Structure 1
Amino acid sequence: MSLTLPIVIGAILGLGVYALVRALVPSKSGAVATVARIDAMRARGALYESPGRVVSQEADSGRLGSLRAGIGVRVADLYRQQGWEQRSLRADLNVLERSWENFLATKILLGTVGLFFGPFLFAIVWTLGIGSGAVIPLWMALVCGAVFFFLPDLEVRRDAADKRRDLRRVIGAYLDLVAMNLAGGRGLPEALMAAAEVSDGWALRRIRNTLADARITGTSQWQALGMLGEELGVEELKDLASALGLVAEDGAKVRESLASRAETMRHREMAEIEGSAGEKSQSMLVAQLLLCAGFLVFLIFPAAVRVFQGA
């Protein structure tokens, strides 16, 4: 047992060092990886490519910025070669308008910091006389490295969920505006663009840019909206694109479809708001019950101690 444990620890360390070297050191690209990189460059800003390179170029300067950019590109190439698409995570980054490469670089750097933070934390605890042994710092390093590595995922998913909620509210109002423009005698393409020009918010701006790109590339606007829904992971936009593709030639059916979908989205939003309010009420009730229980214990404890001491 005393010999097996060092072997296992050494194997884990060796595997971690090998994975880190493979991620950071560029390898010779094969034909498949080269074709995939060319396709990704052509589809920049589309389904699987982060819009951060085009929409919001993050200004990285200095050695740290160049190091971060290099790590991000290499890790992204490794993901591409291995076929790790991470569709849901990329959709979350597209909603937040963040770069996929910078996100991967942040994960790697935070994971590396976690590897050093674990032993440092153990050293502080060890100086207080708590804990001993050479294996504990290793396990703390691995645990802290894994936790730090996945922290950006939790942050991105939380922020993306909040932003998608706002996007769905905007889409509901957008559908009403499109229906009003159709009722005013405009055609469907003009109505979609006119409704997207009423505000400069980020949601309508994304829709407006998508419609403008569709005009340039010759793609139908409802197909462009479906691609945007696929990119952002918003089912409402994909359903809207499918519905518009079926009834695009009939203005009356388009108005009815948009009005019904807007009403459905409003009802769903109201149900979510009511459910959230109910959850908050329940949490407040539980907190009040715990406070009352603590107050009762505070009142009863002295008397109970006297009774037991007298007995």
Structure 2
Amino acid sequence: MIWTTLIIGGTVGLALVWIVAELSPRHPKLSAALENLGTVEVDTSKADFRAQLGRLMQRGVLSKFGVNKKDLALVGATSEQHSANQALMGIMGLVIPPAFGTVFVLILGLPAPILIFSLPVSLGLAVLLMWATNLTITQKAAEARQEFARAVATYIELVAAERKRATAATIALEHAADVADSWVFVRIRQELQLARYKGQRPWDALKQFSKEIGVPELSDLADIMRLAGAEGASVYEPLRARGKGLRVQLLNEARSRANADSERITMPMALMGLIFIALIATPPLFKLITS
């Protein structure tokens, strides 16, 4: 009985650690973009199980638990990988309640039929964990999209500086992307590199990339640079104007979010004030009533 309890307890502990690791914030991954840079063959024997789980989650009713593909592309994950993670979280949700129930039966001596009540809890926890997996991706994508927009504002200014030095449109985009090593600039460099390998014009690649990840600010840069590359137009002033306008837009959005957060805090603060007043006023009231 002791070994059985230890094994079940270890399994539950590993499951909880796995859940915390999956739900903890992470930096956006670049694996999806790096996979497009080459055709390196890897050992897929270990990935077969996860791939099967991913394909299973994309069928029938389970496909309703999917998430926006633009969010997945932005954080560097594929639909199959996300579906496999969802399936694993769902399996953990199904396993954890019966495991706890078994521990209680063995340690506390509860009747074994009580394990039947863990079945609806298992289904509810599985759905909750799969929903939490989607919510994690959505939150990561929202934060990454804001960071991407801020970096694009800087990137536009850098491209404008390159164009002021009479640098060609294609070279200006590449030189500006080489300035920083943040994940946003790395993704932009990768897209420009892929466009060069494919013989695609860089502004077309950035336009397509902006649609894939849902960042329209990058599409505006691509439209401006298309004028410089295709028609040879002077785009220094439009770039500076767009960069300034984007900074103002992002600042206004940040202020709006701050105001919304302040409004949400107002009600809890008012409630805490009422509770504090009630705590102070209660003893005198009781004394007045009793006297």
Whether 2:229 is the aligned partner of 1:248: answer: yes
Alpha-carbon distance between aligned partners in 2 of 1:85 and 1:240, rounded to the nearest angstrom: 35
Per the normalisation by structure 2, the TM-score is 0.72
Whether 2:265 is the aligned partner of 1:265: answer: no
Whether 2:284 is the aligned partner of 1:303: answer: yes
Flag structure 1 segments of 5+ consecutive residues without an equivalent.
1-48
Deviation at 1:136, TM superposition (A): 4.4
Alpha-carbon distance between aligned partners in 1 of 2:201 and 2:99, rounded to the nearest angstrom: 57
Compared CA separation, residues 238 and 109, structure 1 to 2 (3 A): same
Alignment of 1:57-136 (within 5 A): 69-78=47-56, 89-119=68-98, 136=117
Compared CA separation, residues 236 and 88, structure 1 to 2 (3 A): farther
Deviates more, 1:155-164 or 1:235-244: 235-244
Preserved CA contact (<8 Å) 1:118 1:143: no
Deviates more, 1:238-247 or 1:209-218: 238-247
- What letter matches 2:86 in structure 1? K
Alpha-carbon distance between aligned partners in 2 of 1:88 and 1:260, rounded to the nearest angstrom: 35
Cα root mean square deviation, aligned:
3.6
Deviation at 1:228, TM superposition (A): 1.4
Preserved CA contact (<8 Å) 2:33 2:190: no
Corresponding position of 1:148: 129
Compared CA separation, residues 272 and 297, structure 1 to 2 (3 A): same
Which structure is higher in RCO with an 8 Å CA cutoff and minimum separation 6?
2
Per the normalisation by structure 1, the TM-score is 0.68
Compared CA separation, residues 116 and 304, structure 1 to 2 (3 A): farther
Corresponding position of 1:226: 207
Q: What CA deviation, in whole Å up to 9, does each residue of 1:169-223 have, x standing for no partner?
A: 1101111111111111111111111111111221111111211221221111111
Deviates more, 1:243-252 or 1:268-277: 243-252
Compared CA separation, residues 221 and 85, structure 1 to 2 (3 A): farther
Deviation at 1:224, TM superposition (A): 0.6
Of 216, 237, 245, 1:235 maps to: 216
Of 147, 170, 175, 1:189 maps to: 170
Aligned positions, number: 251
Deviation at 1:307, TM superposition (A): 4.7
Identity across matched positions, percent: 25
Alpha-carbon distance between aligned partners in 1 of 2:161 and 2:125, rounded to the nearest angstrom: 55
Corresponding position of 1:205: 186
Flag structure 2 segments of 5+ consecutive residues without an equivalent.
1-30
Compared CA separation, residues 216 and 108, structure 1 to 2 (3 A): same
Alpha-carbon distance between aligned partners in 2 of 1:239 and 1:86, rounded to the nearest angstrom: 33
Deviation at 1:270, TM superposition (A): 0.7
Alpha-carbon distance between aligned partners in 2 of 1:221 and 1:241, rounded to the nearest angstrom: 8
Alpha-carbon distance between aligned partners in 1 of 2:158 and 2:274, rounded to the nearest angstrom: 53
Whether 2:271 is the aligned partner of 1:290: answer: yes
